């Protein structure tokens, strides 16, 4: 009887250890998810603020240039600004597409830890 009791205790400890490992990994996953959510929120906020100020500065610079050349070369200045803004938008669009195509590994720490766990539990030959 003592052998079966010892075996049951050993199985209980092993199940407890496995559950503890799973709980730790889930907590790590949850922490990474929360960090990513906060980072994305900050990126969106700072990006929106930067776009607002850049937009205002471009608008005011455009008005300044148009007023400065109002009497002499108004149409030439407006055409030049249109071309400049078009190419700036085109460059930005291509940069956006390049960034959007990049893949990053979400939950990389959790996946690395799970891979280590699998290696640890893999049968040794």
28-51 pLDDT, tens digit each: 888 888 888 888 888 889 988 988
Residue 115 pLDDT > 70: yes
* Confidence class for position 10, pLDDT limits 50, 70, 90: confident
CA atoms within 13 A on the CB side of 71: 0
The answer, yes or no, to whether residue 124 has pLDDT greater than 70, is: no
CA distance 67 to 73: 10
Q: Which of these ranges, 14-18, 66-70, 92-96, 105-109, has the smallest mean pLDDT?
A: 105-109
- The owner of tokens 């990006």 is 47
| Crossing angle of the two packed helices 2-68 and 74-101, in degrees rounded to 10 | 170
Say how far apart CA 15 and CA 10 lie, in whole Å: 9
Helix residue ranges per DSSP H, 69-123? 74-101, 108-121
pLDDT bracket for residue 105 (50, 70, 90): low
| Cα–Cα distance measured from residue 68 to residue 94, given in angstroms and rounded to the nearest whole number | 32
42-94 residue pLDDT tens? 888 998 898 888 889 888 988 988 898 888 988 898 888 888 888 888 998 88
């Amino acid at each position: 009887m003592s052998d079966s009791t010892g075996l049951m205790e050993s199985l209980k400890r092993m199940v407890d250890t496995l559950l503890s490992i799973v709980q730790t990994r889930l907590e790590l996953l949850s922490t990474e998810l929360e960090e990513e959510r906060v980072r994305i929120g900050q990126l969106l906020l700072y990006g929106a603020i930067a776009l607002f100020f850049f937009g205002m500065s471009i608008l005011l610079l455009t008005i300044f240039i148009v007023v400065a050349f109002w009497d002499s070369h108004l149409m030439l200045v407006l055409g030049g600004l249109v071309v400049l803004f078009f190419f700036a938008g085109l460059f930005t669009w291509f940069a956006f597409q390049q960034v959007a195509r990049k893949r990053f590994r979400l939950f990389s720490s959790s996946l690395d830890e799970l891979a280590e766990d699998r290696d640890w539990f893999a049968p040794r030959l």
